[in-house]
Structure 1
Amino acid sequence: MRAVFDSLGAGVFVIDLTGRLTTANPRARHLLGRSGDELLGSDMHDLLHREPDGGTVPRGRCRVLSVLDDGQPNEGSDEFLLRGDGSLLPIIWAATPLRHDGATEGAVVVFHDFSLHRDTAEQTAAHLAALEELTARLSMVAEVSTDLISTMDTSDMLNRLAGLLVPDMGDWAAIDVRTPGQTGELRRVAVHAPGDHAAARSLRGPLPPLPEASRSSVARALRGAQPVVLDAAALAEPPRTPLDAAHRELFERLGGTSAVVVPLHTRRQVFGALTVARTAPGSSYSEAELLVLADLARRAGLVMEGAELFEQQRHVAETMQRQLLTPLPQVGDLRMAARYWPAQSAAEIGGDWYDSFLLGDGVLTMVIGDVVGHDLKAAAHMAEVRNMLRALAWDRTEPPSLIMRRLDEAMTHTSDAPMATCVFGRVEGQEGGPWQLHWVNAGHPPPLLITADGHTRFLEDGHGPLLGISSALHMGLGWPNAHAELPPRSTLLLYTDGLVESRTRDIEAGLATLRRHAAALARRDIEEFLDELLARIGPSGDDVALLALRIPPERAAGEPSRQHAYSPAAADRGAPGASVKDTPVRDTSEPEQPGETTR
């Protein structure tokens, strides 16, 4: 038995009823780094048992001694023994009462070095904690990214970004951006400080210009496109420029012992700077946190660049369309009006147009069309198709079907414009009426005729293929001529599909809605008719073009007309058809009344 005791691969020692060591095997002496003389006769608890920090364990909490008190086995893996060299040995252990003739005479303790297992467990816990932190960071990045791309409103996006960074990345956040078109001008557009909303609001607004030689944190971030870390020493430096003072005011009002200033940038330019700060004493930012903030700032910069490019494209497309929305001619007592409703998104601005002009034989034309596509290229193609139609039609007295065939051939052989839809009509009649519409329809929604008593019908005749198909594919298709009587005081409405179709409503439902509202507005003035129609339908998504003609009442023979002829001077007195964002464009040759503003 002595050989077994001495050869065990585990440490074993025996204590008597008072807790004194009576024997210890060689493995125990080796693990503890102590000699037999040092161990035997010593109180086990006082000599060996320690807290994880090296402090003494109260005797009443000693789980090994509890075996002597209650006679029940005990075990554990969270105890430490003091080695001879002063280091601590983490152990996994088991203690069992030592019985002889039915009486407890002490306890036997068996233990192993638990250092390797404990280190592995601690490493695993550290890895799990790091993984949880990384997961939390990735979740925040994903949430921020979702919010960044959910709006094209830059101010709204930056306010959301500042709010999402608090409190995970700091106790407050502020964002300064360059003012578009003004070099060096800065403006603080967002401040998020949960504990002081009044201070946050008061800190927003214009900032002093960026000095050329400034070495402030904001200046360095804007020029170097790299994060700038501010510690307590940097925050204690006195401001040297008005911009430094404005940035320091953030810390004076909101507090802060450490901060990071990160540029909002892309490869091409820097749009502004994000400041995130912590107020707890001794706080700082880790390398991983700096990388996260830099990545989020870069994403915000990409969104800002995209918004800027979209706005530029929208402006160019709207400018092009404004130039094409010419004043409408007025012939006799015929009344015309038009509207252009820009798309809400720059990506949706495209090829919708309306047109009306006098032909060489004095006949009035009405045109509505839509070139396939929703981008700046579509707007350019729209201008090309519109001008080709004008050139082909103005000096010819031939039926609309031949004009449409010529336009289809011209698009195929002289232009790279894609397919387009179009309604081309001639309004014919004597000065006192009656009036007729002669038209063809190249794949466009049908014109709507509304009588004075509110009866409506779609003019569904004259349908043919889209422009850009028949001649290109040598299909030999044509467009049948159609004609319809235009009753006195009736309204003829031409429109593009953006009025009746959207992502949330199919075209059949949209046509029914248009018909219902148009009937209810039949007796309104033609200008009010279009304004109210747009207000009631509220088109969204695609851009919309409208062209309306009001037929005058019957007039007795010889009764003079209120306006006998079309003249460029009279047309020039009307609104130029300029488009205004989110507001329908009025296009009419009626002179403005004093104090009236044409929209």
Structure 2
Amino acid sequence: MDSERPAAAPAFADDADRVRSARRLVTTTPNPALDRLADLARRLLGTPAAQVSLLTDVQTVTAVAGPGLSGAAGTPLADALCTVTAVSGTPLVVPDTDRDERVRHLPPVTSGAVGSYLGVPLRGQDGHVIGALCVFGPATRDWSGADVSLLTDLAAAAVTELELSALAVDLEAARVRWQLAVSAGGVGTFDWDLLTGVLEWDENLLEMFGYLPGEFGRTIEDFDARLHPDDRGRVARALDRSIVEAGAYEAEYRVVHPDGTTRWVRARGQALADESGRSVRVLGAAYDTTAARDEDARVARVLESMSSAFFSLDRDWRFSYVNSEAERVLGRPRGELLGGDVWELFPDAVGSPFEENYRGVARTGRPATFEAYYPAPLDAWFEVRAWPDPDGVSVYFSDISERRRAQQALETAHAAAAAAAERLRLIVRISEDLSSTLDVEEAYARLAQHLVPALGDWCLVTLVDEEGQLRDLGCHHADPAALDLVRAYREARVTALTPQSYLFRVWRTGRPVTVPEDATGALVAQLAPGSTARELITRLAPGALECLPVRARGRTVGLITLFHDAAADRLSPEDLLLATEVGDRAGLALDNARLFSAQHRVAEGLQRSLLTAPVQPEHVQVAVRYRPAARAARVGGDWYDAFLTPDGATVLVIGDVMGHDIDAAAAMSQVRSLLRGIAYITGSSPAKVLSGLDAAMQGLDVATTATAVVARLEDDGDRTRLRWSNAGHLNPVVVGPDGTLRTLGTGSAELLLGIDPGARRSDAVVDLERGSTVLAFTDGLIERRDGSLEERLRLLGSVVTELAAQPLEDLLDGVLRLMVPGEHEDDVALLAFRLHPREGDRPAEAGPERVPEQLPPSP
């Protein structure tokens, strides 16, 4: 540890001039004023301890408040924190001693006594650093600039006190000897008989008043004779109040001895009453307070030299001390303040944080630090530190108005930034909501819920439909109790408005309209007399409104009307700009939704026109479903087919041409038509049909790839056989009459169509029991970004098993509902057939039989 100690410490100790300067101020005589100064530093800075140290060849503690760092006998300089302060020559600020390399090795730190430290060097008149004033505690603490400034002020006052003590050491020694003699005399007592007028004093009290034996006449006049003339009236009033009220008596006054010397005496007593309540006697005691008054005078000198404002209040909330800086800040002369009631002199403090904290300090005995504003004539913000003292409350305060103004400016800037961020968040929320659905009315009607209460107390959202008619679509009110009233007004408004109303004007011109005041009267004038809308708007009673156009691609597609209960609540320019931005975004979303709807209808119509209704052979029910992708014009290549061949077999096809656009739909139409023709003319097995289709696609230059399952349902009267071939498509599933689920696989994956016309194709055959159901589907049913293909196939199996007992049409609807519950990116095609019993008629749930009237003979 010794190797880590500052190298500057020995050199500091060898400075002979500095040592002499410090020794001049070292005295063994206690300095109460310096102790009170240390205590003042401790209380003002809110630390457990403070001390004043002088540095000669050792550290000597000359004043301490709280637990000190060392005794007065002296501490080696190399072990002293104050040495580090003195060597630096500047304030030593240590928030955490364990982390500070300058001090972490010193014994006060390693012992755990000091966790944080703030020290200021003391400089003598010759400029040498002679010691340090420091405050500290065992816990870590962040020291502020105000803390350093305050301790620096107190350090200057401490040096002044030390210099005064050195110059008056002999006088101080004499004063201490005299004070000890007075203390040895003890406390004097008095007994005043109000009936006889006899005033009895003991020897100590006679000595305090300077009476020799036999000189005191035992009357109140003898007491008055030795009182200082300036104190007689005040003491007489205190005695009279005690006698009249039969209560306590307390006074501090000056006694003038025959030799002209003045002593301070504090007296306390009690008036005693007879059975009638009349005071008959005053008993009490008195003691000499001259020494304490001298100490107070020394502290007053320190406080007068401070650059910060300070005052003291007695128990009656009257000013008992005010320093010169407090006079300046409070704007009143000392003579007007001293003895004055703080609540009368500063009436705006009543009920404010000043009164709350001052009374709290007096009541609890705990210090308080706070910031508060006092209005004109002071018109300033103050940082206040108040703490209890034996006579009342002491207050240290400073004007922080400039700091508060800077803080308020920063808060205003932050508030403006927060408001801008909230506007941006509102736009983002509205944009996300508008883009979350492509349903025109749903997307637009929800807008009112975002605008209230952010931009108005209530709101109506109007749609201009494709026929040019106005319709109030959405509404909202900040008060849930008024929402039904707004809904009723929404239903009645448009038909009751005159053609000259603001709503039609905004629609025609595309320019916003503002009604800044008396919006209720303006609206009543625009509504048809006797209409329900008139009565409703009178009850809603808006004070102001703004009507904004919702425009897109150069035309008005809607309107937003924002209502405010009070005219003063109308939109600011910033909020009006925000509302306009919202209208623009809503208009674009609304127009996009309309375009989507139109494109989606065209695309879905095109896709469905390419798919024909399936045949319904006897005792075989076929059901199909097609659901286009959610995005506009997102037609795809999914298809299904079911038809009869001349030999009476039923051919079932499910397929998917790669791509999701008009080209894919066109390619699908070609592939589907080729497959139909080949299967119908040739009557071949599914594998040969797929091979023929591969060859035809190459020969006819159908430049696409596709997957497909072709199945042929053959019935010889005794059994029903399913023959199928798969070209890279998802395998169908079959549910038996007993509910058992299985997948129809060929055993090996075969190539997609359009890749290799010479690819090998094979058939698979299975016998199906009557009551079996087969489901074929395209990949749009099971492919999702949030799940693997295996998980989705397992889910499909469980869904089909659960729904297998339902009618075939209901089964397909249930599969779509559970597997594709919302919007989806890919189109979906489903093909299912169910074998009904041969015996009896075709079941009603299967619908009518539908087959060609006449099939040509097989080739």
Same fold (TM over 0.5): yes
Q: Is the 8 A contact 1:358 1:364 kept in 2?
A: yes
Structure 1 residue 330: Cα displacement: 6.0
Q: Which residue of 2 aligns with 1:480?
A: 762
Q: Is the 8 A contact 1:258 1:277 kept in 2?
A: yes
Q: Which residue of 2 aligns with 1:545?
A: 830
Q: What are the superposed Cα offsets for residues 553-596 of structure 1, whole Å, 9 maximum, x if unpaired?
A: 389xxxxxx99982389xxxxxxxxxxxxxxxxxxxxxxxxxxx
Where do 1:119-138 residues align within 5 Å?
119-134=405-420, 136-137=422-423
Q: Is the 8 A contact 2:373 2:382 kept in 1?
A: yes
Indicate the larger mover: 460-469 or 170-179. Answer: 460-469
Structure 1 residue 543: Cα displacement: 2.9
Asked whether 1:272 is paired with 2:558, we answer yes
Q: Which residue of 2 aligns with 1:202?
A: 488
Q: Which residue of 2 aligns with 1:171?
A: 457
Change (3 A) 1:268 1:212: farther
Q: Which residue of 2 aligns with 1:414?
A: 701
Indicate the larger mover: 208-217 or 167-176. Answer: 208-217
Correspondence for 2:727 among 419, 422, 442: 442
Asked whether 1:42 is paired with 2:321, we answer no
Q: Is the 8 A contact 2:440 2:594 kept in 1?
A: no
Correspondence for 1:508 among 787, 790, 794: 794
3-state SS of 2:838 partner:
coil
Q: What are the superposed Cα offsets for residues 349-384 of structure 1, whole Å, 9 maximum, x if unpaired?
A: 643322234557776532222334566665444334
Change (3 A) 1:360 1:44: farther
Where do 1:227-306 residues align within 5 Å?
228-233=513-518, 236-237=521-522, 251-267=537-553, 269-280=555-566, 282-306=568-592
Structure 1 residue 212: Cα displacement: 12
Asked whether 1:10 is paired with 2:301, we answer no
Q: How many residue pairs end up in the alignment?
A: 530
Correspondence for 1:493 among 774, 783, 800: 774
Looking at structure 2, the residues matched to 141 and 46 of structure 1 have their Cα atoms a distance apart, in angstroms, of: 60
3-state SS of 1:204 partner:
helix
Change (3 A) 1:115 1:478: same
Q: What are the superposed Cα offsets for residues 54-79 of structure 1, whole Å, 9 maximum, x if unpaired?
A: 97545996799989x99999876425
Give the TM-score normalised by structure 2: 0.50
Indicate the larger mover: 492-501 or 302-311. Answer: 492-501
Change (3 A) 1:377 1:507: farther
3-state SS of 1:183 partner:
coil
Structure 1 residue 188: Cα displacement: 3.2
Correspondence for 1:467 among 737, 752, 755: 752
Q: What are the superposed Cα offsets for residues 463-494 of structure 1, whole Å, 9 maximum, x if unpaired?
A: 654535633xx9x533213344566x565635
Correspondence for 1:78 among 372, 390, 403: 372
Asked whether 1:385 is paired with 2:385, we answer no
Correspondence for 1:424 among 707, 710, 715: 710
Change (3 A) 1:515 1:107: closer
Change (3 A) 1:517 1:92: closer
Where do 1:145-160 residues align within 5 Å?
145-160=431-446
Where do 1:363-378 residues align within 5 Å?
364-373=650-659, 378=664
Q: Is the 8 A contact 1:22 1:41 kept in 2?
A: no
Please tell me the residue identity of whatever aligns with 1:42: E
Structure having greater relative contact order (Cα 8 Å, sep ≥ 6): 1
Q: Which residue of 2 aligns with 1:342?
A: 627
Asked whether 1:529 is paired with 2:808, we answer yes
3-state SS of 2:570 partner:
coil
Larger Rg: 2
Change (3 A) 1:182 1:320: same
Looking at structure 2, the residues matched to 289 and 544 of structure 1 have their Cα atoms a distance apart, in angstroms, of: 49
Cα RMSD (Å): 5.4
Where do 1:96-135 residues align within 5 Å?
112-134=398-420
Q: Is the 8 A contact 1:342 1:349 kept in 2?
A: no
Please tell me the residue identity of whatever aligns with 2:379: L
Change (3 A) 1:376 1:5: farther
Looking at structure 2, the residues matched to 80 and 403 of structure 1 have their Cα atoms a distance apart, in angstroms, of: 98
Change (3 A) 1:91 1:221: farther
Structure 1 residue 506: Cα displacement: 1.6
Q: What are the superposed Cα offsets for residues 308-359 of structure 1, whole Å, 9 maximum, x if unpaired?
A: 344334322321233223244466x464533225358457864332223455
Change (3 A) 1:171 1:416: farther
Structure 1 residue 400: Cα displacement: 3.5
Please tell me the residue identity of whatever aligns with 1:553: R
Unaligned runs of 5+ in 2: 1-159, 162-300, 821-826, 841-847
Q: Is the 8 A contact 2:703 2:754 kept in 1?
A: no
Structure 1 residue 423: Cα displacement: 1.5
Q: Which residue of 1 aligns with 2:379?
A: 88
Q: Which has the higher helix share?
A: 2
Q: Which residue of 2 aligns with 1:315?
A: 601
Looking at structure 2, the residues matched to 423 and 199 of structure 1 have their Cα atoms a distance apart, in angstroms, of: 60
Looking at structure 2, the residues matched to 118 and 452 of structure 1 have their Cα atoms a distance apart, in angstroms, of: 85
Change (3 A) 1:536 1:11: closer
Change (3 A) 1:130 1:45: farther
Looking at structure 1, the residues matched to 638 and 532 of structure 2 have their Cα atoms a distance apart, in angstroms, of: 48
Change (3 A) 1:272 1:222: farther
Q: Is the 8 A contact 1:449 1:458 kept in 2?
A: yes
Q: Percent of aligned positions with the same letter in both sequences?
A: 26
Change (3 A) 1:478 1:49: farther
Q: Is the 8 A contact 1:265 1:302 kept in 2?
A: yes
3-state SS of 2:569 partner:
coil
Structure 1 residue 232: Cα displacement: 0.7
Looking at structure 1, the residues matched to 689 and 774 of structure 2 have their Cα atoms a distance apart, in angstroms, of: 21
3-state SS of 1:277 partner:
strand
Give the TM-score normalised by structure 1: 0.68
Looking at structure 2, the residues matched to 252 and 97 of structure 1 have their Cα atoms a distance apart, in angstroms, of: 62
Q: Is the 8 A contact 2:551 2:558 kept in 1?
A: yes
Looking at structure 1, the residues matched to 707 and 773 of structure 2 have their Cα atoms a distance apart, in angstroms, of: 18
Q: Is the 8 A contact 2:500 2:526 kept in 1?
A: yes
